[in-house]
Structure 1
Amino acid sequence: MYPLLTILQLSLKEYMLPCLNKELLGVDCPGCGLQRSVALLFEGNLWAAFKMYPATFTLIPLFLVLISSKVLNFKFDNRLIIGLSIATVALILINYTTKLIF
């Protein structure tokens, strides 16, 4: 399993997509840092991943709940999806505004 993570890590770093918004306008977009944050997560660097893009820690559970709610029928899946969605959007907006200010 460990060699698979190493291969995935190397391929993530080699094939990261550039931010067109940043290249064309010179300003970060609300999604800037997501790819690097996921790469840092695969390296096991949780704090660096959180500092890079905090919404990663709500996006991953949100996608897991969305996928599993299609397969399994949760009793309270709508509340969980709404709560994770609100938390994700809030973290994205807070992260974006702090990037713009500082």
Structure 2
Amino acid sequence: MVIFRLLINLQMRVKALILFLALENFMLPCFTKQLLGVDCPGCGLQRSLLFLSKGEFVSAFLMYPAIYPMLALFTFLGVNKFFPIKYSNHITITLAVCTVGFILTNYILKFI
């Protein structure tokens, strides 16, 4: 019985690993780039998340520099949902402004 459970657990982990490694095949195309021929402000986000999930932190930043402020914002929002934090509105606004600043700066630098 214990061996049977271990085998099922191992099979599930192998399937999850295969699915994780095949994520590149399921990325959504950028419709703005396909229709207009220019990058959108979100171009590179999916690939950056993939690099981040593989542990390639520098490549993730180089692909989409706004990934870290965005992760900080969403992590803070998630933590604040379960554990209310004093001055959370100010922190949220600051993180959101930083994230938008990184996104716009990156978008402008792509065209220079």
Q: What's the TM-score bracket when you normalise by the shorter of the two chains?
A: 0.7 to 0.9
Q: Does 1:51 align with 2:62?
A: yes
Deviation string for 1:59-82 (max 9, x for gaps)?
111111112222221012112111
Q: Does 1:94 align with 2:96?
A: no
Question: For the residues of structure 1 that align with 2:90 and 2:98, how far apart are their CA atoms?
Answer: 12
Cα drift, residue 100 of structure 1: 1.4
Question: For the residues of structure 1 that align with 2:49 and 2:34, how far apart are their CA atoms?
Answer: 21
Unaligned runs of 5+ in 1: none
Question: Equivalent pairs: percent with the same residue?
Answer: 47
Greater length-normalized contact order (CA 8 Å, ≥ 6 residues apart):
1
Question: For the residues of structure 2 that align with 1:72 and 1:8, how far apart are their CA atoms?
Answer: 33
* Distance change (3 Å), C-alpha of 1:73 and 1:52: same
Greater Rg over alpha carbons, structure: 2
4+ residue runs over 3 A deviation = 2-9
Unaligned runs of 5+ in 2: 1-12
Question: For the residues of structure 2 that align with 1:82 and 1:58, how far apart are their CA atoms?
Answer: 12
Matched pairs, number: 100
